[in-house]
Structure formats: C-alpha cells, structure tokens
C-alpha cells in the first residue's frame, strides 16, 4: 500500500477535521442535494461520514484501514471495501452513480480513477465531485497573512507544476495532488463524462456573519463542485 500519510493521520482526521466547518456549511448541502438515487459508490469514503449524512448506506471504498475501521463501527449497514480508486474491485456497471467528496486530490492517478468510475457506473449515471479548487493547491497553505494575522491574499504561482505535495494541518500530514483545471476537465471528458453542472461554493452573508472564519470564502473559493454524467 502506498505511503501517503493517511494511516498515521486517521485519528487526527476523525477527531478534528471530518466535521470541518467548510464541509458543514459549504459542501454538505450541495453534495447531499445532488447525491444520485439507487446504488452509489462513495469513492474515498473515509470514516463513512457521507453515508451517515445521507441516512442511507453508500458503497464505500477507501485505502486507509484506520478510517474504514471507524466507518465499520459507526456505519455498520454500509458495504465497505478497502481498495484504491485506480483499481476498483467491482464488475462493470453495477452502480447508479458515484460521489467523490474531497478525495480525488488524494488519488495519484486521476485518469485511472475517473476511467474506473466510468466503467462501474451505468450509462446515464452521475458522478458528483467536490474537491479543492486547483488555484489553492499550488502551495501547502493557500493564504498569506498580514502582520495582524489576518488573511491578506491567496498567491498563485507555479500553477502548472502538477504533482504530489505533503501538506500538514490540525495534526495531519498527508499527500495532496495538485492538478490544473485543464487536467481535471480534459481527464473527465476523455473518459466519456459530460459536465452538467459546475459550482464554486461560497457562504451566504448570514452564514459568514455567524461563522467569521468562513468570511474568507466570500473572497476566494476553496472548493469546486462538478456534476458529470
């Protein structure tokens, strides 16, 4: 199994990051509204959080045993499989749809994973993707801060320098993969997917007032959401 830091970081993820405020207020509502009906593959299911939010068992796949252990104990009804996104252990076409909730950035071979999802999702099925938007993954930390510790701006440089980067925050140290928007779009299109919706989630004024840390999300998007068919 590849070394990407996730086994060592599993407990820190479960304890502090899985319920991140950005997910709660920016991504959860959009992903849940678009979750396909029927049998759905949760690619990079982690600790099984999406199955619990959806209140129905999704077929979860993840390479990290520490996260799957937690998912099995908290989401016993969900079928969970340990494996890599680039080599899905499923026959062709058994799924009505798929979702990748901030997990494609963790997968080394994007083309293989996107092609594999196309193989296992039936014709007409949908693939809902929420992930880090590419211009905030050029550096380990997106924001530069001023002398008062306030977020000043997001610098973007070496945007075309794709590849893995070790990133650390909140007790985690894991590998994320920076890719350009061109790479994302051309990879999906080459695998036969058609883009039917694209969003850059941002908090409303009311949510930003209630949760000041989200105010920066009204200046620069941190995530993007794509729906492919």
- What was the pLDDT predicted at 31? 98
Q: Using CA atoms, how far apart are residues 119 and 132, in angstroms rounded to an integer?
A: 24
Phi, psi angles (nearest 5°) of residue 177: -110, 115
The position carrying tokens 């036969």 is 192
Q: Which residues of the chain have pLDDT under 50?
A: none
- What was the pLDDT predicted at 1? 52
Q: Using CA atoms, how far apart are residues 146 and 83, in angstroms rounded to an integer?
A: 43
pLDDT tens digit sequence for 43-54: 999 999 999 999
In this structure, is the dihedral angle defined by the CA atoms of residues 65, 117, 76 and 54, taken in order, positive or negative?
positive
Q: Which of 220, 225, 223, 224 is nearest to 155 (CA)?
A: 220
pLDDT tens digit sequence for 53-78: 999 999 999 999 999 999 999 999 99
Determine how many CB atoms are found less than 10 A away from the CB of residue 167.
18
Q: Using CA atoms, how far apart are residues 62 and 83, in angstroms rounded to an integer?
A: 6
């Amino acid at each position: 199994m590849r070394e990407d830091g996730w086994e060592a970081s599993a407990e820190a993820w479960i304890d502090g990051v899985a319920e991140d405020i950005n997910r709660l207020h920016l991504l959860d509502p959009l992903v849940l509204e678009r979750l396909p009906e029927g049998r759905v593959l949760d690619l990079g299911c982690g600790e099984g959080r999406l199955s619990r939010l959806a209140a129905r068992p999704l077929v979860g796949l993840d390479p990290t045993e520490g996260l799957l252990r937690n998912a099995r104990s908290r989401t016993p009804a969900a079928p969970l499989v340990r494996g890599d996104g680039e080599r899905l252990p499923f026959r062709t076409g058994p799924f009505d749809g798929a979702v990748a909730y901030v997990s494609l950035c963790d997968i080394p071979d994007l083309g293989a994973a996107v092609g594999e999802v196309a193989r296992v999702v039936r014709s007409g099925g949908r693939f809902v993707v929420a992930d880090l938007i590419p211009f905030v993954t050029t550096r380990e930390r997106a924001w530069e801060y001023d002398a008062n510790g306030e977020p000043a701006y997001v610098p973007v440089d070496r945007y075309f320098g794709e590849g893995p980067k070790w990133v650390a925050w909140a007790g985690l140290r894991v590998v994320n993969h920076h890719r350009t928007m061109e790479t994302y779009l051309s990879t999906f299109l080459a695998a036969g997917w058609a883009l039917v919706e694209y969003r850059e989630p941002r908090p409303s004024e009311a949510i930003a007032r209630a949760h000041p840390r989200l105010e920066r999300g009204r200046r620069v998007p941190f995530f993007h959401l794509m729906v492919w068919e």
